[in-house]
Structure 1
Amino acid sequence: MPKRNWLLSLLALTGFWTLTTPVMGQSLLPYTPQFNLEQLEQWGLELAEDAVQLVHFKQYELALSRAKLATQLAPTQHQPWFVLGTLYIQKQEVDQAIEVLQKASSIAPEEAGIRFTLGNAYFQQGNYQAAVTELKQGLVFKPHVITALFDLGNSYLKLRKTTKAIKIYERAIVQEKSFWPAINNIGLIKYEQGDAKTAIENWRSASIIDPAQAEPRLALAVVLYAQGKVEEGLRLGESALELDSRYGELQFLKDNLWGTKLLEDAKIFLAVPKIKSLLKNLDKTSL
């Protein structure tokens, strides 16, 4: 919340509290309020900070209203635009987010965080080449940010530049050996390339690193089932779907970058009566 009653202060500053009803016959003198632009800007930056704090408490609408006002009070500072852009992403208003983040980037072109967030927004929009451009530029300033590397790898994967995608994922793994999402996605690529052995190794590794993650476990289950290892595949698949039943939807798998071959195998696996029954029961319990 604001550290001071900024609205009352702003009204006082602009002269609203000095206006009184004139006595009959009194002539009104023209009045121009004197703005302290530096103070207004400071209030804007504080409002941006307040918006961030509200996000922590999931008060997104309140955060959004403060961020919007912050951009009006401090329009030449990148922080309010950055905060507003991230809030638009949270609301899945990607086009507005991109417009605002472009403004932030024009003010502070060397701020890597803005570039990374803009790249993520372009990815969500489906403009993968623009995502690559922004993410690469951000990595020039901060080359070891794992999430940015992962987003860049995903963008290359969407552009079907799989060799570049693997190299970027491997850079992320160098930064953090336990970064399972990159290990998992290399498995996705390898399977589409016909290298099921390496894909299985990757998914087993990802599952060991974080046993609470459904995706690598389900990918492993689907492939093992397709290879005729029915019991192990079903056991792993059931446990994966119990962790996160969203992976029982083909569109969700596609959104998570599963390739054509793996999706075909997943379609067969998810149609198995035992798995269909499990998903139906999981749907009921989630209601």
Structure 2
Amino acid sequence: MAPRWFNSLAAAPLALALAIGPAASAQALVPYVYVPRAEELEAAGLGIAQAATRLLRLGQADDAARLAGLTVQLLPNDPRGWVLLAEAQLRSNQIKSAGQSLARAKELDPRNPGIWFAEGSLALRDGQPGQAVGLLETGLRFDGKNPGAHFDLGNAHLLLNNPQAALGSFDRASGLRKDFWEAINNQGLVLYELGRNDDAIRRWRRALEINPKAAEPMLALAAALHSRPGDQKEALEMASQALAIEPNYVLDAYQKEQLWGPRLRSSTRVLLENPAIKAAADRANANATGSSDGEDSGEE
């Protein structure tokens, strides 16, 4: 908690006041208030920011937001505090407040690419992909080597039905970070909708080499393989495993939320109708919540 400063002169007990007598009581008492120096305020603010960051790492976003709010009160002209506050507000689902905090951070540091990226991600989450594209592209002019920003830009282009632009952004993201399996997975999503099945299959296999337990490329790959007679056994085994890892992928609405196109969703629907995985599909339907964790939709 932020330090609180009180008057250092406490009120004297009644018995002491009576013992002093009339002469002393006529003297004026001037309370002394300690006013911290600027360096002390800065140190306190940074200490609170560190505590807020630790709480964020522990998943305590509400408490982190409260501490970050104290940070910006102590250091109102430090954009880092406003960015931290915005992140805590985002994670605690205070979307409007997060946007206001980011706007204040950008006023203080308009050339900071991280602020533009955060605003772009917020616009994407708020269902405004067109606005997200402008924000992310501005940030990339300051820092063109941010893989997360390229990934978000690809998702924005996907939502705007610009598959070639999306594919280019995902390619750049995975080129900048070789283990970025989410970007490789999303390349597969685009390629499959473009009818480039073999290329999509290669991307999903590559994503699973990086993360063998990733449910999304596992089920997408299973759907693509299911139409090939020689690959059906592998497809059915893979689909059952994917649904056990993440039951929500049994839901068409969840697939759409994760930016699966109509062609892939149709192939998945055919796969899930196969009697051989009826038990796995039924279990997934029973366990599905329909809530997105943002795994592969660009909310990094």
Q: TM-score range by the shorter chain?
A: 0.7 to 0.9
Q: How does 1:180-199 map to 2 (within 5 A)?
A: 180-199=181-200
> TM-score normalized by structure 2?
0.81
For 2:77, what is the secondary structure of its paired residue? coil
The code of the aligned residue for 1:20 comes to A
Which of 274, 280, 283 in structure 2 is aligned with 1:281? 283
Please point out which of 7, 11, 15 is paired with 1:20: 11
After the TM superposition, which of the residue ranges 55-64 and 16-25 deviates more from structure 2?
Answer: 16-25
For residues 244 and 8 of structure 2, the distance between their equivalents in structure 1, rounded to whole angstroms, comes to 61
Return the offset for 1:37: 4.3
Shift in alpha-carbon separation, 1:116–1:21, aligned structure 2, 3 A: farther
Q: Tell me, in whole angstroms, the C-alpha distance in 2 between the residues paired with 1:130 and 1:253.
A: 24
Residue 154 (structure 2) aligns with:
153
CA distance in 2, matches of 1:227, 1:61: 49
Question: RMSD value over aligned CA atoms?
Answer: 2.8
- Matched residue, 2:272: 270
Cα shift at 1:126? 0.9
Corresponding residue for residue 11 of structure 1: 5
After TM superposition, give the deviation of residue 194 of structure 1 in Å. 1.8
Q: Is the 8 A contact 1:44 1:73 kept in 2?
A: yes
Q: Corresponding residue for 2:135?
A: 134
Distance 1:30 1:210 in 2: 65
User: Pick from 239, 244, 263: which aligns with 2:241?
Assistant: 239
TM-score after normalising by structure 1:
0.84
Q: Distance in 2 between matches of 1:159 and 1:119?
A: 14
Q: 1:135 is aligned with what amino acid? A: L
Structure with greater Cα Rg: 2
Q: 1:172 corresponds to which residue?
A: 173
Percent identity reads 32
Task: After superposition, give the CA deviation of every residue in 1:138-191 in whole Å (9 maximum; x if it has no partner).
Answer: 222222121121111111111112221111111122223332222211211121
What does the per-residue CA deviation read over 1:16-62, in whole Å, with 9 as the maximum and x for residues that have no partner?
34363797987787998746444324322221121001222223232
CA distance in structure 1 between the aligned counterparts of 2:66 and 2:155, rounded to whole angstroms: 32
CA–CA distance in structure 1, aligned partners of residues 287 and 199 of structure 2: 36
For 1:151 and 1:145, locate their aligned partners in 2 and report how far apart those are by CA, in whole Å. 10
Q: Give the distance between the partners of 2:85 and 2:279, measured in 1 at CA.
A: 44
Which residue number corresponds to residue 122 of structure 1? 123
Cα shift at 1:82: 0.8
1:250 paired with 2:241, answer no
Deviations 1:105-155 (A, max 9, x none): 211122222222221111100111222222222222222121121111111
Instruction: Tell me the equivalent position of 1:75.
Output: 76
**Residue type at the aligned position of 1:161:** N
Tell me whether 118-127 or 178-187 shows the greater mean CA deviation.
178-187
**Aligned length, in residue pairs:** 278
TM-fit CA distance, 1:260: 1.3
* Larger displacement relative to structure 2 (170-179 or 124-133): 170-179
Counterpart of 1:215 in structure 2 is 216
The yes-or-no answer on 1:98 pairing with 2:99 is: yes
What's the offset of the Cα at 1:285? 7.8
Choose 159-168 or 275-284, whichever is displaced more. 275-284
Alignment CA distance shift 1:150-1:216 (3 Å): same
Cα distance in 1 for partners of 2:49, 2:153 equals: 28
CA distance in 2, matches of 1:38, 1:177: 43
CA deviation map 1:211-269 (0-9, x unaligned): 12111111111122244553232122112222322222222211111001111222232
Query: Residue 11 of structure 2 aligns to which amino acid in structure 1?
Result: T
Letter in 2 for 1:278: A
Partners of 2:200 and 2:271 in 1: CA distance: 17
Residue in 1 that maps onto 2:85 = 84
Give the Å deviation of 1:273.
4.0
**What code does the residue aligned with 2:5 have?**
L
Change (3 A) 1:55 1:277: same
| Deviates further, 128-137 or 223-232 | 223-232
Find the counterpart in structure 2 of residue 108 from structure 1: 109
Using the alignment, how far apart are the partners of 2:47 and 2:180 within structure 1?
A: 35
Q: Shift of the alpha carbon at 1:78? A: 0.9
